[in-house]
Amino acid sequence: MQKDRLVFGLTAVFAAMTVLVILVAVAAVEPVLLVVALPLGAATVLFWYQSSGRLRERVYRSRRSGGRTRESRGGVGTGARRETRRDRRRAADGDGGRRRRRGSRNRSPSGLSPAEAYRRLDLEAGADESEIRRAYRRKVKEVHPDRGGDEEAFRRVTEAYETLTE
């Protein structure tokens, strides 16, 4: 609440300065002062946009629509979500990424069974995805090569995590 009052006060101050500079420019017939009034006016509009809550609404709408608004058509810096490898794979599979091949129903592409993957992460079978993620992070802290762990152990833990999340 206090921040909104401050921004509203800044809006009023910049609006008053803009009007004053424009009046002096007209009275003294100084076109240079009109050039000075332009950035002041732009700052006034931005402060008003923030203090009125319209900027917050626009950002909220942009986030709800995945960063794609009428003004934002894509490209660098527009906030468009980058497509991940998993998103591409799920789109190609058409079944939400839960790909099952005939004859390898209980095996991942790397050949690791889900039961073995749960054991590697010290989990019980049937753990949900948030538990799997927590267990993976806990194990990675122990075995990561940058923290003095074994590279092979890190690879096995990562393989188990990928098996359970793909």
Digit-by-digit pLDDT tens for the chain (166 residues) are: 456 778 778 888 888 989 998 898 888 888 888 888 888 888 888 888 777 777 777 777 777 766 554 444 444 444 445 556 656 666 655 544 444 444 445 555 667 888 898 999 999 888 888 899 999 999 998 888 888 888 899 999 999 998 888 7
DSSP label of 84: P
pTM of the model: 0.37
Residues in the chain: 166
Question: What amino acid occupies position 81?
Answer: R
User: How many Cβ atoms sit within 10 Å of the Cβ of residue 35?
Assistant: 11
